[in-house]
Amino acid sequence: MSAVSGPRPEPGAAVPGGSVFLQALGAEAARLHPEVRRYAAGSGVVGGAVAVTGEFEVAGSRWRKLNLFARPLVGPHLFVTAFELDVPFQVVNTVVWDNGGGLGLGAERVFRFSSGDQRFVDVLRPGETPGTLRNLLGSARRVELELRCSVTDAGHLRLVSERAWLRLGRLRVRLPALLSVRAEVVDGYDDVAGRNIVDASVRSPLLGTVLEYRGAFRHEPAS
């Protein structure tokens, strides 16, 4: 699946083909839990945003400040340097337009640790093959993952990374498995609590779990 490119669409115009998630899932999107599908559909318009608020049961990295050593290579707003329980958070998901990249979904996550706020940002674009998304991580977008999209038996949206690249200027270097990471995100819905739920982890073959967060949230159009 290629990115939606061409002339820049006007703000407020309907997103061609629906959200990046629904495009990647295709007919499988019909299996999503209705509330998960509503969240995955996003704002539905160019420049539109959805605001998410909630609390993580657990969030951060057990490597804490050691992650600072990676920042010169990967750039800011990718690794976090705290690990806590009961962490309030906010996310703003915005339909964005990148020159050369077409339409995508930008996310800015704010983890409100007791030691201070930290940000983790990324952009999702349509993938190069059906059923996938390109995930550009951090403000510098130097790390790229290919995410496979699927629907679980419970109707939850599951994203799993299959390949990873390091982007340095015009270079795009495929990372071998030993130096790569495996990211998995499951967006679901708790019918009893009446809230959306998320469970995410990023694991390295060498370092183990380098990022994790798990919790519940509500979402609404951003003002």
1 lies in some domain: no
106-147 residue pLDDT tens:
999 999 999 999 999 999 999 999 999 999 999 999 999 999
Instruction: Read off the tokens for 84.
Output: 């806590």
11 lies in some domain: no
CA nearest neighbour of 166 among 204, 207, 202, 137: 137
Distance separating the N- and C-terminal Cα atoms of the chain: 32
Predicted local confidence at residue 11, as pLDDT: 81
Predicted local confidence at residue 99, as pLDDT: 65
Return the bridge partners of 18, or none: none
Predicted local confidence at residue 101, as pLDDT: 66
8 lies in some domain: no
Q: Are 8 and 104 in contact (CB under 8 A)?
A: no
Predicted local confidence at residue 6, as pLDDT: 61
**Which H/E stretch holds residue 212?**
strand 208-221
| Domains in the chain, number | 1
Give the whole-angstrom CA distance, residue 22 versus residue 58: 28
Give the whole-angstrom CA distance, residue 210 versus residue 223: 33
136 lies in some domain: yes
> What is the pTM assigned to this prediction?
0.93
The range of the structural domain enclosing residue 210 comes to: 20-221
Q: Are 202 and 59 in contact (CB under 8 A)?
A: no
3 lies in some domain: no
Residue with tokens 């995508």: 104
Predicted local confidence at residue 5, as pLDDT: 53
Instruction: Read off the tokens for 148.
Output: 């496979």
Other Cβ atoms less than 10 A from the Cβ of 137: the count is: 24
Give the whole-angstrom CA distance, residue 183 versus residue 200: 7
12-68 residue pLDDT tens:
888 877 899 999 999 999 999 999 999 999 999 999 999 999 999 999 999 999 899
Residue 148 burial (C-beta neighbours within 10 Å; 0-12, 13-18, 19+): middle
172 lies in some domain: yes
Residue 100 burial (C-beta neighbours within 10 Å; 0-12, 13-18, 19+): exposed
38 lies in some domain: yes
Predicted local confidence at residue 203, as pLDDT: 97
With vertex at residue 143, the alpha carbon angle to CA 69 and CA 218, rounded to the nearest 5 degrees, is 95
33 lies in some domain: yes
Return all residues near 18 (Cβ < 8 A) that are at least 6 apart: 41, 44
CATH of the domain at 177: 2.40.128
